[in-house]
Amino acid sequence: MDDGKYATRWSRRLALGAVVAGAAGVTGAQADLRGEAEATLRAFLKAFENDDVAMMEAAFVPEAASFDLVVAAPGVSAPPNLEAFRRQPGMPASMRALVERTPKPKSGPPYRRLEPKDLLIQVEGSTAVCTFHLEGPTSLGRRTIVLVRRGTAWKILHIHASNARSV
């Protein structure tokens, strides 16, 4: 066999091997980031279940934005507070209100169950988009939470909540 052809074949194989190995490393790194983002999401949901306002607030970046359907919910007897539609940074006001008005039995937390269904976490660089459903007997809540990586921690940059009830 010609030594030049042999060397060329081995060079190609080594190059292909490097590409495959590099792709596997990216996949592993992406999986690690996805796992970290999911752990952050689940820790936030656990804090919400337990009405731990301090932990909930710490999960948001200061400039976080939200879309909160509670403000625009049909069937509300009071006129809507139009100021509540404006962008307000941080944790959504309705989350805080829900935590504050939840009865606290002596048995302690959790005060609600948040079990994300059909969870999808998409990571692109330092951003993760998490989408899931919250199911109730007659309702379906759709959530989208955008996380950003700040240093070594994931934080909530945006949260969107939509709710639908069956008739």
Q: What is the pLDDT of residue 1?
A: 52
Mean pLDDT of 82-96: 77
Query: Does the structure show a pLDDT above 90 at 7?
Result: no
For 12-53, the pLDDT digits (tens) are 544 444 444 444 444 788 889 999 999 999 999 999 999 999
Q: Any residues with CB less than 8 A from the CB of 51 and at least 6 apart, and which? A: 99, 102, 104, 109, 111
Query: Which residue ranges form the domains of the chain, and what is each CATH number?
Result: 3-165 (3.10.450.50)
Query: What is the value of pTM for the model shown?
Result: 0.75
Query: Does the structure show a pLDDT above 50 at 139?
Result: yes
Q: What is the pLDDT of residue 23?
A: 45
Query: Does the structure show a pLDDT above 80 at 102?
Result: yes
Q: What is the pLDDT of residue 93?
A: 83
Question: Sheet of 117-124: strands edge to edge?
Answer: 60-68, 153-165, 139-150, 127-135, 117-124
Q: What is the pLDDT of residue 24?
A: 46
Q: What is the pLDDT of residue 167?
A: 73
Query: Does the structure show a pLDDT above 70 at 99?
Result: yes
Q: Read off the DSSP letter of residue 146.
A: E
